[in-house]
Amino acid sequence: MSSKYLVTVILVVVAAVAGFLFGSAGSTKTGLPQITTGNQSVAKNPIFKSQTATFQGIITKVDGSELSVKDDSGNTDTFSVSSKAVIYKFTGSSSQASASSDLKSIDTDKQALVMLELIDGKYQIVSVSYLPPPPKPAAKP
């Protein structure tokens, strides 16, 4: 093999690698615009009418329209409450939850299912559903 041929092959390989590296440097993994909300990053896709997230855990603190939450795995975060949020609670021995939009009805340190929606680039709480009380054991005859 001639040295001229070897130099040509090496230049082609170097050019191909350089082109690959420069081309992939500016792209994102999903190709979609990224939204950063707190310490969470989500891809916004224009085809979706809405994007939601749900978790089960407890509300640890209410500070105005901000809720600090902890999921069942111990992860914590703080989210704003949407102006259209609804809180579902079981009162007394009722088997049906009552709905309220009053943030004062939010209880801390109780198991709840929390639903969030991506609104204006940030996840906001749109629903808090407290779990029903456990069933009472049947009376023994």
Task: State the pTM of this model.
Answer: 0.63
Q: How far apart are the first and last CA of the chain?
A: 98
Percentage of the chain lying above the pLDDT 90 cut: 37
CA pair distance 128, 130, nearest whole angstrom: 6
Distance CA 125, CA 82 (A): 6
What is the CATH classification number for the domain harbouring 113?
Answer: 2.40.50.140
In a domain, 1, yes or no: no
Would residue 20 count as lying in a domain? no
Q: For the chain, give the mean pLDDT.
A: 77
108 falls within a domain: yes
Contact 125, 116 (CB under 8 A): yes
Least confident of 14-18, 23-27, 54-58, 99-103: 23-27
Max Cα–Cα distance, the chain, nearest Å: 100
Q: How many Å apart are CA 86 and CA 97, to the nearest integer?
A: 11
Q: Does some domain include residue 9?
A: no
Residue 86 lies in a domain: yes
What domain range includes position 87?
A: 34-130
19 falls within a domain: no
Number of domains in the chain: 1
Residue 113 pLDDT greater than 60, yes or no: yes
Q: Confirm whether 140 is domain-assigned.
A: no
65 in any annotated domain = yes
Closest CA to 100 of 86, 115, 81, 82: 86
> What DSSP element (H or E) covers 68?
strand 66-71
The predicted-structure confidence for 53-108, as pLDDT tens digits, reads as follows: 999 999 999 999 999 999 989 999 999 999 999 999 887 767 778 888 888 889 99
